[in-house]
Structure 1
């Protein structure tokens, strides 16, 4: 059986015990280079997730009787690799262990409830800001192309009154959290997620 483990926002202190159990028992750890570095020494065999997702799926299928753990940032089913794997494998062949998502972590740090929040991602897509900004509360997993500055620019262009909460390097020693008006948003931020608030 293939186990997909959400490793949380970054610091292993936020890893749930069930996730730690499956990682410790793994024959093979699969994940991005950053994920594998976090758990180096747990097992001798690793596989790096790269752009060849078809190759990864075929390899997982051919090795499904082994104790394989796929490491996923945050929660595997919130804009993570869990979606791809759940579309390819049946629920009987896949065990998914949830993790604390980066948006969930940021909301906790900002003491912001997640009720009625609209969750989305800009990874590999161009957000429809006209539609998104109709929501009072939006949590967005960002990428290098559409990050805080692009979001702020979309708000300014529409003349909207919004606040951005930007979380960089969440749960890590260099974590930074900013609460800004769109006009004050800088050009560059480290690895981040954003919450957009309509504070009427």
Structure 2
């Protein structure tokens, strides 16, 4: 039997395999965290509890994430990264209204809200960044696109204070509904404020 030549042999595998064991472990651990957070009657969120629920050894979780705070930050960042598309309606008002309505809908989800609460409570500044960094980037993209069209949009910080902050505050602290109309009202007040 002839042995394969180098021309017909597959190239040696290098680096990590997409969808390999590491990706499966990460997905199982993320699912376990989300399930434990959503299950209010579950045991406290600890690395051993997450490992048991995920079917992996606790040392695997400690080695990869180090602490519950780092694990929660990773899960939350992954959960919020790219979960809705930055709108492009052709105008700033439409983009901001769609952005605010999508964020309101996301924050009205009890599982999302539970994950945010536990991440903020456990993760400190790292947790806060995990809960909001992607939203800030999306907002910055909306404002930059308007600037590129020749508009004069408000700054990211001002827009965040007027749109993102009230949405998070209402979701986390008031129990009041996060309706699309209310979210659109935030945008209307922002744009009225910057054009006055």
Q: Note whether the superposition's TM-score is higher than 0.5.
A: no
Which has the larger strand fraction? 1
Q: TM-score range with shorter-chain normalisation?
A: under 0.3
Larger radius of gyration: 2
Which has the larger helix fraction? 2
TM-score (norm 1): 0.26
